Structure 1
Amino acid sequence: MSAMVTSALQLIQSTSPSKRQRLRHVVERKGEKSMDEFASEVRGLLEAPLQVEQSLDMSTRLQEEYREKLNASDISMLPSFQHTLPTGDERGDFLGLDVGGSTFRIALIRLGAKSNGEDGMQVRRIRSFPINKAIRDLQGQAFFDWMAERIGEMLAEYNHINGTRDARLLMGLAWSFPVEQTSPRSGRLLAMGKGFKATYGVEGQDLSELVMRSCRTRGLNVEMRAIVNDGAATLLSQAYRDPSTRMSLILGTGMNAAVFLPVKALSSGKFGERPDSWHAAAKHVLVNTELSMFGKQVWPVTRWDEELNAKHMLPDFQPLEYLVTGRYLGEIVRLILVEAITTAGMFNGEMPSRLEEDYALDTRILAAFQGDNTATLTKAKSAFLRAHTMFAPPQLRELQFIRDISQLVAQRAAVYLATALHALWTLRTTAEGLEPGEASHVTIACDGTIVEKYPDFRSSCQRHLDELCVLSGASKGAVTLEMAPESSIFGAAVAVCCLEDTSEGTRVGFAAHVEQPQHPW
């Protein structure tokens, strides 16, 4: 019997009878290897795929997969109706609507002249309304009636501030649920999930018309002009500020990316039924990549990744997402810790409360470990023990193990993500008929808690992206990751501004199309 197991069994004698039997069983049955041996094995498995040359090979393979889906796929590489980007010179006041899983936000957004280093994009008023169970239970038109009531409140405030009676505002909607888009401003409503009953009796109807029907009933002087998803909103929002923006990344609990591609990069069958006027006007198109679905045969994985995938309700469906997002980083580390406890004597074999439960280890705890620079890891220890109580406090070397593993799992995620983005950038560059070294600088607009708040994640991803670009023949900084704050709200409004209405032959959203205030706000 190993010294660690002997020590653990001695400790068990001082525990309560109820814990004693459970801990003895765990330690006697599972004390198979030392923590040092296990830590070395984990480190080797997680570090193995992090070499830049290996990433470049993975990027090449991903590009082939991207091209396949650009040719034929009804679930990824989906072209939107958006075929223009903002110039940055758009002007006017707009309503931005953002419907998420837990919140409905409305903002009065003013786009104006850039000056004194400001980008000309301002949120002049914003309101946030929780979507609780009572709201999620609203069925059919009743949900959109609730939205319209909130829109009416914001319009009343707008008129009060500006001294107007019935100002007309154009609206853009960021809709964080599935929708089958049929034009820049319309799309068939699909099941929302997450406990929402809004689609009951109206599924398949036009989302824009559902919103407008409720607005017309209340006499609201608004018009829906654009519907966008989160990836498109993020790209459009940053493109207004930075004309080099051609890609976007959402990375939080889940993930997605959008890219502005030449129309010729997609097969004609991907566009479905669109008016001839759209095809005549469109040279480029904003594409929803559904990037999470790519790379099943590309990404090197460990036995813990395979366990996560095997137990998932949708195994193999989103292979990249299962490796890089906030929902799964904590779960990967949890599976490693459970094995360390049950086979290598970590925590003297004691399983912290709830740690055996799937998805019990919050990624925020991993971030706490990576962000704790103290010698004793006191803050990280407190965060861990608040969520997972223990009979005996963890030793410093055990806390250091959690920190090291958290860092490795996050570093691998940053490398895989950088590889996927490099492949998408290279695909776009070649579709434009350029070599990587000939391409202009490209900004990737970013939003989401992981890319924004997880310690060193964005900088680690940027470093690897730089290495890949240099290895490809481009310069360091050829592609940069930039945060796009409030991108859903801003992007919804900007989508209105850069919409070219091919059915009417006009470009809408400029000041001439919006009743302007009589005096400043």
Structure 2
Amino acid sequence: ALFDFIAGELAKFIASESESDKFRLPPGRQRELGFTFSFPVMQLSIDSGTLIRWTKGFSIDQMVGKDVVAELTKAMDRQGVDMRVSALVNDTVGTLAGGRYDDKDVAVAVILGTGSNAAYVERAQAIPKWHGPHPKSGEMVINMEWGNFKSSHLPLTEYDNTLDADSLNPGEQIFEKMISGMYLGEILRRILYRMASEAALFGDTVPPKLKTQFVLRTHIMSAMHHDSSADLKVVGDKLKEILEIPNTSLATRKTVVEICNIIVTRGARLAAAGILGILKKIGRDNLRDGEIPKTVIAMDGGLYEHYTEYRNCLENTLNELIGDKLAKHIKLILSNDGSGIGAALLAACNSQYN
């Protein structure tokens, strides 16, 4: 059903574009596709990959262990779409490719959206698990799957632990569950629920809606966090609209905003620490004799693009960690839909008609 939906939407797009002669293919030429698939796969070729596991709340057991390109190809056949997948691309790799196409100094790509991941350019000789011939460039792209990072050093709280235990993938994607857009609003809900239960934050009774998982999505949290009105009207309106709490005091609204700030500050600082870890790995974390290559980091994802407080905190933290002198050599850029553009570019590079 999932792949039939994708193929169906693809068929609609093709039907709309074919009205223009600009997109008409020469006779006998098959359309080609770059397929961005933002889940962990075992990929042994450019145009195939076996799903390892789902993330971001997806759970389709019968797909695990199957080739996602083969499934999409079968779905396209069912929809009558004559198209070949020329490149299967993780979203971070796509963002890196799209960024590198525009700017040769792009060396890292980070996704901060519903989920989170990162990729970077590594020297082939620094990859111990690679045993094949090195590419001519001497470099390879590493898809980190950093969302699955876990460590005793991560500042996990009881809210993180219960969120993880209640998730569809307990014990996995721990880092992602602390920093990404799917989970920040749910962390807020869990904190508010405890404060309502134990400290009567919203009065003598706990609002029933507050018991519903994921009732507070991160875009709602962002709207409340960015409320700059004197009486925090947006916060009051969202609490009334989403949680059905008719009246809240200004003090209560300020408390909600402060909790938003604490959650976002932690998430953004952790994400910045992850970026610093990449810079350390590729040797771009200090000025050696005053020399360091310019490093551009392509950022993609709705959380980074739209949650201003999150983005500002991440950028300020990274500058704090690397210092003012090094900050002049490190640049973060927004790569809007970089993953889709990068996948198209990689598909073009691997076209059967090259």
| Shorter-chain TM-score tier | 0.7 to 0.9
Partner of 1:456: 309
Superposed CA offset, 1:51-71 (max 9, x none):
xxxxxxxxxxxxxxxxxxxxx
Shift in Å, 1:239: 1.4
Note if 1:184 corresponds to 2:20.
no
| Equivalent residue letter for 2:157 | T
* C-alpha separation in 1, matches of 2:130 and 2:241: 51
What is the one-letter code of the residue matched to 1:461?
L
Aligned match of 1:467: 320
Q: Percent identity?
A: 26
Instruction: Give unpaired runs (5+ residues) of structure 1.
Output: 1-134, 500-507, 515-521
Post-superposition offset of 1:315:
3.8
- Distance 1:481-1:378 versus aligned 2 partners, 3 A rule: same
1:168, CA displacement in angstroms?
5.5
- 2:220 corresponds to 1:354: no
> Is residue 2:105 matched to residue 1:244?
yes
Residue 122 of structure 2 aligns with which residue? 261
Deviation, 1:244, is 1.2
Paired with 2:25 and 2:193, the residues of 1 have a C-alpha distance of 63
Match of 1:487 among 331, 338, 350: 338
Distance 1:494 1:480 in 2: 23
Q: Could you state the TM-score of these two structures normalised by the residue count of structure 1?
A: 0.59
Give the deviation of 1:389 after TM superposition: 1.0
- The runs of 5 or more residues in structure 2 that have no matched partner are none
Partner of 2:92: 231
Residue in 1 that maps onto 2:34: 172
Listed as ranges, the matches of 1:30-429 within 5 Å are: 135-136=1-2, 138=4, 146=8, 149-150=11-12, 153=15, 156-157=18-19, 160-161=21-22, 165-166=26-27, 169-188=31-50, 194=58, 204-205=66-67, 207=69, 211=73, 220=82, 223-267=84-128, 270-271=129-130, 276=133, 279-281=134-136, 283-390=138-245, 393-429=247-283
> 1:367-407: CA deviations, max 9, x gaps?
111211000111221112101113x5110000000011101
Once residues 217 and 239 of structure 1 are traced to their aligned partners in structure 2, the CA distance between those partners, rounded to angstroms, is: 34
Partner Cα distance (1:223, 1:467) in 2: 46
| Deviation (angstroms), 1:363 | 1.7
CA apart distance, 1:253: 1.8
Asked if 2 retains the 8 angstrom alpha-carbon contact of 1:171 and 1:226, the reply is: yes
Q: CA contact under 8 A between 1:136 and 1:197: conserved in structure 2?
A: no
Taking the aligned partners of 1:354 and 1:382, their CA distance within structure 2 comes to: 15
Alpha-carbon distance between aligned partners in 2 of 1:219 and 1:322, rounded to the nearest angstrom:
37
SS of 2:283 mapped into structure 1: helix
TM-score of the pair, normalised by structure 2 = 0.84
Q: Is the 8 A contact 2:18 2:24 kept in 1?
A: no
- Tell me, what secondary structure is at the counterpart of 2:212? coil
Distance 1:430-1:383 versus aligned 2 partners, 3 A rule: closer
Query: Structure 2 CA distance, aligned partners of 1:147 and 1:199?
Result: 20
Q: 2:140 and 2:212 mapped to 1: Cα distance?
A: 44
Q: Shift of the alpha carbon at 1:419?
A: 0.5
Q: Distance in 1 between matches of 2:106 and 2:304?
A: 17
Alignment length, in residue pairs?
Answer: 351
CA contact (8 A) 2:8 2:79 kept: no
Q: Distance in 2 between matches of 1:339 and 1:148?
A: 45
Distance, in Å, in 2 between the alignment partners of 1:360 and 1:170 is 40
Contact 1:466 1:478 in 2 (8 A): no
Alpha carbons of structure 1 residues 189 and 225: separation in structure 2 relative to 1, 3 Å: same
Q: CA deviation at 1:366?
A: 1.5
CA distance in 1, matches of 2:13, 2:236: 46
What is the CA-CA distance between 1:289 and the residue it aligns to? 0.4
* AA in 1 matched with 2:342: G
Cα RMSD, aligned residues only: 3.6
**Rounded Cα–Cα distance in structure 1 between residues aligned with 2:98 and 2:268:** 24
**Whole-Å separation in 1 of the counterparts to 2:205 and 2:277:** 44
Single out whichever of 332-341 and 447-456 deviates more from structure 2.
332-341
8 A contact 1:250–1:256 mirrored in 2: yes
CA shift in 2, pair 1:419/1:177, >3 Å: closer
Q: Report the secondary structure of 1:211's partner residue.
A: helix
Give the distance between the partners of 1:206 and 1:312, measured in 2 at CA: 24
Aligned mates of 1:339, 1:209 — CA distance in 2: 44
C-alpha displacement at 1:209, in angstroms?
Answer: 9.1
- Separation in 2, partners of 1:306, 1:217: 43
- Give secondary structure in 2 for the equivalent of 1:298: coil
1:70 matched residue in structure 2 = none
Could you say what secondary structure the match of 2:33 adopts?
strand
Bigger Rg, structure 1 or 2: 1
Alignment partner of 2:327: what SS?
Answer: coil
